[in-house]
Amino acid sequence: MTIDLPTIWAGIIGLGVFLYVLLDGFDLGIGLLFPFFDRDGERQVMLNTVAPVWDGNETWLVLGGACLYGVFPIAYSALLPAVYLPVIAMLCGLIFRGVAFEIRAKAGRTQNLWDLAFILGSATAAFSQGLILGTLLQGIKTVDGRFAGDAFAWISPFPVFCGLGLMVTYATLGCGWLVMKTDGDLQRRMRVLLKPSSVVLLAIIGIISLWTVLGQPAVAQRWFGGHHFVYFSPVPLLVLACVIGIFRSADSGHEARAFILMEAIIFLGYSGLLISIFPNIVPPTLSIWAASAPRSSQVFVLVGVVIILPIILSYTALSYWVFRGKVRHDDEGYH
């Protein structure tokens, strides 16, 4: 039996993208929640909860991009022109928020400006990622592996809805993170936010699922053809269970539950996405095999990734472990 490299690589890059959404999602979410909280005290606590980890979280975006280029160059060169302006907007948003994050701590009278840059950067990045996801999900027309669709397909109702949906997802995730990482009044206010946002999130997931199934016969066939739905039905049922769990956790004493359940929802949503498009990497026609680089390129990069990925993973796990526990207002600033 020969090892199918494109499948292995699809797994690695899929894991990278998943980790990115899982990890950077909550710190982008904090940027989205930022405007609703008081400038001096609460915002600093919110930032302190992610200060040690946010830049590591973005590692996965760069690694995912570089590996996609090296291993699936056809997918990389077909996808990026199709979502050109959203990608540029996302990158600029991430630059702004990253630099604002660092400089805010060193700023005095200009702090308001950096706060604004942090908020707008986070919102732009989250919305653009949703646009990219929505454009990918609605299908990108390729001819002979080259992008041949409408350059502005991302300005249509479905991707825009996905953009807003991802903003809500990240904000809810950020909310769950802060319930876990803070206490007192800030935690109480986050709990209050949790209920409405999780209900909106459920509605958004439902609408996106229906929209995809109704709009794309191939996706409907994948989910409902034959006995497929019997195997796939746990996905939507578990999403429902998670939302109910989050809703109830808002009134209980559980502190980590909402965050863990939100991460589970993201995992389920991501699984749903993969069920809908696999083995295509750029739906509706470009499969992972058609998009692959030659075998020698895939083997060459795999050697490096097999050595370095475990190191990055353990380092990431270690930094979350060291940083476990609550962050309080009276904690020493550590910038």
Partner 1 sequence: MLETSDVLILSRLQFAFTISAHIIFPAISIGLASYLAVLEGLWLRTGKLVYRGLYFFWSKIFAVGFGMGVVSGVVMSYEFGANWAGFSRFAGSVNGPLLSYEVLTAFFLEAGFLGIMLFGWKRVGARLHFLATVLVALGTLFSTFWILASNSWMQTPRGFQIVDGRVVPLDWLKIVFNPSFPFRLVHMSLAAFIVVATIVAGCAAWHLLKGRGSEGIRKSFSMAVGMILVAAPIQMIAGDAHGLNTLEHQPAKIAAIEGLWETEKGGTSLNLVGWPDMKEERTKYALSVPHLGSVILTHTWNSEIRGLKEFAPEDRPDSTIVFWSFRIMVGMGLLMLLLGVLGLILRLRNRLYDTPWFQRFALAMGPSGLIALLAGWITTEVGRQPWVVYGVMRTADAASPLSSQQVGTSLLILVIVYFLVFGTGIYYMLKMMAKGPDAGDQAAELEGDARQSTARFDRRPMSRATDPIDE
Query: What is the Rg, in whole angstroms, of the alpha carbon atoms belonging to the chain?
Result: 20
The dihedral through the CA atoms of 64, 139, 81, 54 has a sign that is negative
Give the one residue of 98, 183, 200, 285 binding partner 1; rule: CB under 8 A. Answer: 98
Amino acid at 54: W
Helices (H) and strands (E) in the chain, counts: 13, 4
Nearest alpha-carbon partner for 55 in 14, 3, 98: 98
Give the one residue of 62, 210, 214, 317 binding partner 1; rule: CB under 8 A. Answer: 62
Binding of partner 1 by 33 (CB under 8 A) = no
**111/187 with CB nearer partner 1:** 111
Binding of partner 1 by 36 (CB under 8 A) = no
Binding of partner 1 by 76 (CB under 8 A) = yes
**135/172 with CB nearer partner 1:** 135
Binding of partner 1 by 2 (CB under 8 A) = no
Least spacing, CB of residue 48 vs partner 1, in Å: 9
Residue 121, Cβ density class (10 Å: 0-12 exposed, 13-18 middle, ≥19 buried): buried
**35/73 with CB nearer partner 1:** 73
Q: What is the DSSP letter of 35?
A: G
Give the one residue of 51, 162, 208, 290 binding partner 1; rule: CB under 8 A. Answer: 51
**2/296 with CB nearer partner 1:** 296
Binding of partner 1 by 304 (CB under 8 A) = yes
Binding of partner 1 by 99 (CB under 8 A) = yes
Q: Which residues of 54-80 are buried (b: 16+ CB within 10 A; e: fewer)?
A: beebbbbbebbbebbebbbbbbbbbbb
Give the one residue of 71, 123, 162, 179 binding partner 1; rule: CB under 8 A. Answer: 71
Give the one residue of 10, 19, 33, 61 binding partner 1; rule: CB under 8 A. Answer: 61
CB count within 10 Å of CB 241 equals 15
**Size of the chain, expressed as the number of residues it contains:** 335
What DSSP string runs through 143-211?
ETTEE-S-TTTTSSHHHHHHHHHHHHHHHHHHHHHHHHH--HHHHHHHHHHHHHHHHHHHHHHHHHHHH
Stretch that binds partner 1, among 82-90, 184-192, 220-228, 256-264 (CB under 8 A): 82-90
Q: Is 124 helix (H, G, I), strand (E, B) or coil?
A: helix
Binding of partner 1 by 11 (CB under 8 A) = no
Give the one residue of 203, 315, 317, 328 binding partner 1; rule: CB under 8 A. Answer: 315
Give the one residue of 7, 112, 233, 319 binding partner 1; rule: CB under 8 A. Answer: 319
Could you give phi then psi for residue 282, rounded to 5 degrees? -125, 95
Q: Do 87 and 80 contact (CB within 8 A), yes or no?
A: yes
Which two three-digit tokens encode residue 22?
């899982």
Q: Could you give the string, one character per residue 141-180, with x where binding to partner 1 holds by CB under 8 A and - elsewhere?
A: ----xxxx--x-----------------------------
Give the one residue of 91, 200, 213, 275 binding partner 1; rule: CB under 8 A. Answer: 91
Give the one residue of 22, 77, 240, 270 binding partner 1; rule: CB under 8 A. Answer: 77
Residue 316, Cβ density class (10 Å: 0-12 exposed, 13-18 middle, ≥19 buried): middle
Q: Could you give the string, one character per residue 284-303, with x where binding to partner 1 holds by CB under 8 A and - elsewhere?
A: ---------xx-xx--xx--
Rule CB under 8 A: which residues touch partner 1?
A: 51-52, 54-55, 58-59, 61-63, 65-71, 73-74, 76-81, 84-85, 87-89, 91-92, 94-96, 98-99, 102-103, 105-110, 145-148, 151, 293-294, 296-297, 300-301, 304-305, 308, 311-312, 315, 319, 322-323, 332, 334-335
